[in-house]
A and B are shown apart, each in its own frame.
Chain A
Amino acid sequence: QSVLTQPPSVSGAPGQRVTISCTGSNSNIGAGYDVHWYQQLPGTAPKLLIYRTANRPSGVPDRFSGSRSGTSASLAITGLQAEDEADYYCQSFDSSLSNSCVFGGGTKVIVL
């Protein structure tokens, strides 16, 4: 079981909006630690998608956005495109696990 909980999959038609939740606890997201999101396309390494909750690295389309509230964070994809079909992981830090980075279990986005 991952420390951060994500839905196994979400789906949407092209052009639609989908959201991915990342639920933690008071020792990680709820403690205010940074939340980052990664996209992993099939057969490739993870790529940084969103950092510190809502910031996009250069080159990441503004269709991707992040937010957080309490012990959870969310990734939204608006105007869903076929190329967005991938696995998405949230990541934070957990103070109860001896300087551990923690990941969510990953969410597969399916474009219908």
Chain B
Amino acid sequence: QVQLVESGGGVVQPGRSLRLSCAASGFSLRNHAMHWVRHAPGKGLEWVAVISYDGSDKYYGASVKGRFTISRDNSKNTLHLQMDSLTTEDTALYYCARKFCTSATCHNPFDLWGRGTLVTVSS
């Protein structure tokens, strides 16, 4: 079955770190650029980060640049998001999403989404 499954969410204090993972099954992650998108309570979707098929190209949204790091392990069919210096504004449901292209800058749509993992930043 073709799917993405996120994990690693939880409750964390402001200033701390958390690492999210996204496991792909039913297809090879190495053929796709991969993204993280988040959905904060009461707000719309916000794009977080993208990584090219081979990990050579990465881009970040303005609100997370310098704090979050996207990475991938194609041998394990897994995507990661290292989140440092977390603030309450980072509280959201985090989705990994696939694009049917290899480049980090392609404009194709997101054609596959996971169900998300919830991150709550609270003291």
Contact = CB atoms under 8 A, between A and B. Distances in A.
Interface of A: 2, 6, 33-34, 36, 38, 44-48, 51-52, 57, 89, 91, 93, 97-106
B107 A44 contact: no
Given A45-B115, A45-B116, A97-B62, A103 B44 contact: yes
A34 B100 CA distance: 14
Residue among B37, B43, B108 with most chain A CB within 10 A? B37
A105 B43 CA distance: 7
A69 B122 CA distance: 43
B35 interface: yes
Given A38-B110, A46-B110, A91-B109, A103 B59 contact: no
Given A36-B110, A106-B45, 9 more contacts: A2-B44, A6-B44, A38-B45, A46-B45, A51-B109, A97-B62, A99-B105, A100-B47, A103-B46
A98 B109 CA distance: 18
Residue among A44, A45, A97, A104 with most chain B CB within 10 A? A45
A105 B115 contact: no
12 contacts: A44-B115, A45-B116, A46-B95, A47-B113, A48-B109, A52-B109, A57-B111, A89-B45, A101-B35, A101-B50, A103-B44, A103-B45
A6 B113 CA distance: 22
A5 to B, nearest CB: 10
